[in-house]
Every structure is written in structure tokens, then in C-alpha cells.
Amino acid sequence: MAKSTDELMKILKNESNIEKYIEENKEDITSVSLTRHIAALLEDKNLTAAKVARRGQMSDSYFYKISQGVKENPSRDKIIQMCFGFALDAEESREFMRAACVGELYPRVRRDSIILFCLENHIDILECEKMLEDAGDKKILRE
């Protein structure tokens, strides 16, 4: 049975050796790289990089740099754009954001709730932008 995040934190706080912690908890610690996650999504969803970039409102070259690991540590909003590009639902987006090591979308935060709603209901990113603007929240795309 998988350990909860709280359980892992408790174990980590009491551990004096990080290698031992990682070895003993390897089934509960993620290590999937963003580039592998992107490649798997492209294959699983039978999408092209160009289509994902277009649906996420980002340049092909920027998407390519992220997918090849050339551009490391993309911003949370760039990862959200990619979630829209891949047409991920809320749960898939959560997994993708974990792989990217950016903060997950949190339903208690109004902006995140709007984005989650749009992802779950397959509302495109431009309509989501309008909903964010109407709510007075920060938009995803840079102007």
C-alpha cells in the first residue's frame, strides 16, 4: 500500500541518511522526468508536438525546447499551457505538473479552480483566459 505524503514527510524528518530513505521508499517517490512524460503523452494521445503547442498557445520551438530538456524548469503557467495543449483532464494535469515539479492546481484557490474547471470540461485555453479575466484573476498567457 502506498504511503501518504504525510507519512513520507514523517519518515523523512526522522531519517538521518537520505540514501537509506530513498532506497526504503523508492516505490513511493516519483522520478519520472518531464521529457519522458511528454514523450509518453505524445505517443499515448497520438499527438504531434505542433498540435500540442498550437492548442496550448505556445510556439513550436518553445514546446520543442521543453520536450527535449533544452529548456529546463519551465514556469508553472507554461506547464499549464501544455496541459491545455495535451487536452489533459484535472487528474492527468495533476500528474503532469508533478512530473514538471511545479505546484499542482489547488481547488481552494479561485484561479486554480477556474483552470481545473476548464481542463476537466475540455474548455480551450483562450476561453479559460476570458474566464480568468472576467474573474479578475491573473491570466495564463503573457501579453
Length of the chain: 143
Q: Which of the residues in the chain have pLDDT under 70?
A: 1, 30-32, 143
Q: Are 133 and 139 in contact (CB under 8 A)?
A: yes
- Taking only the tens place, the pLDDT of each residue in 66-101 is 998 888 889 999 999 999 999 999 999 998 998 898
CATH architecture for the domain at 34-135:
Orthogonal Bundle (1.10)
Can you read off the three cell numbers belonging to residue 45?
494521445
Read off the pTM. Answer: 0.80
Q: Are 85 and 19 in contact (CB under 8 A)?
A: no
